[in-house]
Amino acid sequence: MSDGRAESPQALIIDADDTLWENNIYFEQAWEDFVQFLDHSHLPAERIRAIFDEIEIANIQIHGYGARNFARNMVQCYEHLVERAIAPGDADHILSLADRIFHQPIEMLPGVEDTLGYLLHRSHDLILFTKGHPEEQRLKIDRSPVGRFFREFEIVREKDAGAYRELARRHQLVPSITWMIGNSPKSDINPALAAGLNAVFVPHPRTWSLEQTELAPAGPGTLRIVENFSDLRNFF
């Protein structure tokens, strides 16, 4: 009798940031320090963040993601909102806030290593699929303890439906036994489902605001929702 787990090896495409290890919490800390440094007389943090998000959305189309581009966007936001004369060292201070992100330890999320070992032992095909600045993402992968579990690492500029279709084509993945696993509805779940794959949503309480949206209907694929990464054992 089946215990609910997959009966045959599956292709598991797994997100990195905030699925395998903490990431957004470090950006949030840099942002909070930036708001304190800006010290605006009347704009609340929520309104400052809304203005910053507009800057980020525009610049992502040009420069992409990553801590360096986050720093550039904070400098632009500062120059737009600051109420005092800009001092020569202000930009350098803001850049230093984001530079700390590079020096944070890789903090694995609970159960990740043991669960990846279990999935590999069950003969599932594991592919790490992340977006962002290639150098920054590769550095995090190299510093993490989990690179050994994955057959391939894929770093792309944007994770949209086309990127998932291309990934499946290049690795000759069968959609019916291929699953995208991640914390972002915008980049992990919805585009994978749109590309005809299955998906497992692993919520993270601190997912970046620009990655949050409603989960799309599953369509031809299957959507599963779990509480944490370890729960993947119940399905695979």
Q: Where do the domains of the chain lie, and which CATH numbers do they carry?
A: 11-21+106-234 (3.40.50.1000), 25-102 (1.10.150)
Q: What is the mean pLDDT of residues 22-27?
A: 94
Residue 32 CB neighbour total at 10 angstroms: 12
Tell me what pLDDT residue 146 has: 95
Instruction: Using the predicted structure, report yes or no on whether residue 174 has a pLDDT greater than 80.
Output: yes
Q: What is the mean pLDDT of residues 152-158?
A: 94
Tell me what pLDDT residue 27 has: 92
Hunting for tokens 């894929």 — which residue is that? 154
Average pLDDT, the chain: 93
Instruction: Using the predicted structure, report yes or no on whether residue 151 has a pLDDT greater than 70.
Output: yes
Looking at the DSSP bridge assignments, the partners of residue 182 are 201
DSSP 188: I
For residue 169, give every residue at least 6 positions away whose Cβ sits within 8 Å of its Cβ, in sequence order, or none.
none
132 by Cβ neighbours in 10 Å (0-12 / 13-18 / 19+) ranks as buried
DSSP secondary structure string for all residues of 104-171:
S---BPTTHHHHHHHHHHTT-EEEEEEES-HHHHHHHHHHSS-GGG-SEEEEES---HHHHHHHHHHT
Q: What is the mean pLDDT of residues 135-155?
A: 94
Tell me what pLDDT residue 6 has: 67
Tell me what pLDDT residue 4 has: 59
